[in-house]
Amino acid sequence: MASRVFPSSLSQSKILKLWGDSSTLKGVFEAGDMSSVATKLQATLYSLENARLDVGITGDMGSGKSTFVNAIRGLGDEDPKSAYTGVVEMTVGPTPYAHPKYPNVVIWDLPGIGAPTFQAEKYLQRVLPARYDFFIIISSESFAAHHAQLARELRQCGKRFYLIRSKVDVDIAASRSRRPSTFSEERVLSQIRDDCCRQLEVGGLQDPKVFLLSMFELGKYDFHLLEEMMVKELESHKQHAFLQALPNVSKPILEKKAASLRQHIWLVAAVASGINPSPVPGVRDVACDLHMLIDSLQSYRCSFGLDKDSLVTLAGQTGQALHKILEAARGPETQVTEALVVERLGQASRDASAFTQELLNVPILGTLANCGISFATIYQMLRTSLDEAVKDAQRLLLQAFLDDSEHEFPDRSNP
């Protein structure tokens, strides 16, 4: 019987998929050598959290591609680390922009593709498509022949791509102004999408899927659908890194981030309790690497935008008073200290013994019970801390989009 606390989905086969040499790992588990187990888990955890991801962003001049490079990294156009934006094409060659919190995630601002003499084959020779995990092609108007040409060439190269029609908020505002009595946002969006797909099909691209976005209101329209597809189609070992780097602009993103982090809690707990553990002051029978746990809790806050820099940035982007943002994020407690971690470990240790007994019945992972109460206490503490961070992030999202009637992000899938 699997533990009610420990994820029952972590079956033996699923665990072994984390390593290429599953037979060696199985032997290590069954031998009960916790030091060897923790060392292998540490390497796996590092590879998951630091997987390299490169995304190429291209499109017409003025389509908003550089603004998207900034927005997908959680930055405004005036941030010192932002890509240059303007009405004149400034990108003369592929320019990498590392994510400010996750430098292993790199967004590339590629040269524009709107020239009348555009040739997709020569363009790809210039930008070196093998470098990127996938491409995003952006147009602020209806797609044309050169967009379809590039998409066809990418498909032939075996590269994934996603088509974005930007500035739909401008079209919606214009339509509402021209026809206030008969205006329908859903109808306008449907017309835009249908026209884009039709033009791409005329250009020879079969079965195009177009996502409608506003670069300045990224959480609205089709962004959650785009995010869902990008993550789903990534290699499994890169999904976690990409999810953590995405801006916290919708409830679905928060939920997916939380789910991904929950899958890794047992890894963190095993490593923290199995490598260089030291007794935790004031917490009986618990030994661990406190510095690793401090980093883990701080990483939760960074991922959900609850760190001080993110909160200050959010206040500036939304025009809200900083104290309102801080209140939504549980006040000024944005730094994780050793004292805080010790306190939470003490709270978790009260219920950890029952979990330790249940763990003995989980296939292969029963050897983790050799860590005694330490593994169970750390696991409980991490799970509780993550749940609290998710609640804070949800509350912060509501505060940030207090006046946004579209905050529930209705489904606008392609027909």
Phi/psi of residue 162, nearest 5 degrees:
-135, 135
Residue 222: how many other CB atoms lie within 10 Å: 25
Residue 205 one-letter amino acid: L
DSSP 241-299: HHHHHS---SHHHHHHHHHHHHHTHHHHHHHHHHSS-EEPTTSTT-EE-HHHHHHHHHH
Tokens of 194: 């249908």
Rounded CA gap, 45 and 59, in Å? 36
Q: Looking at 34-102, which runs of residues are DSSP E strands?
A: 53-59, 95-98
- pTM of this prediction? 0.83
| Nearest-angstrom CA–CA distance, 149 and 124 | 11
Phi (first) and psi of residue 178, to 5 degrees: -75, -40
Write out the chain's pLDDT in tens, 415 residues.
334 444 434 444 444 444 444 444 455 555 556 677 788 888 888 888 889 999 999 998 888 888 899 889 988 877 788 887 765 555 578 999 999 999 999 999 999 897 778 899 999 999 999 999 999 999 998 899 999 999 999 999 999 999 999 999 999 999 888 888 888 999 999 999 999 999 999 999 999 999 999 988 887 899 989 999 999 999 888 999 999 999 988 888 899 999 999 988 888 988 998 888 899 999 988 999 999 999 999 999 999 999 888 888 888 877 888 888 888 777 555 578 999 999 999 999 887 777 777 666 665 555 565 556 888 889 889 999 999 999 999 988 888 776 444 444 334 344 3
Cα–Cα–Cα angle for 96, 97, 102, rounded to 5 degrees: 125
Residue 297, judged by CB atoms within 10 A of its CB (0-12, 13-18, 19+), counts as buried
Task: Enter the DSSP assignment of 100.
Answer: S
Q: For the packed helices 120-127 and 145-156, what is the interaxial angle rounded to 10 degrees? A: 60
How confident is the model at residue 93, as a pLDDT?
85
- Give the integer Cα–Cα distance in Å for 108 and 21: 34
Q: What is the pLDDT of residues 124-138, one digit of tens each?
A: 999 999 999 999 999
Question: Of 268, 291, 270, which is closest to residue 280 (Cα–Cα)?
Answer: 291
Q: Give the Cα separation of 115 and 333 in Å (integer).
A: 51
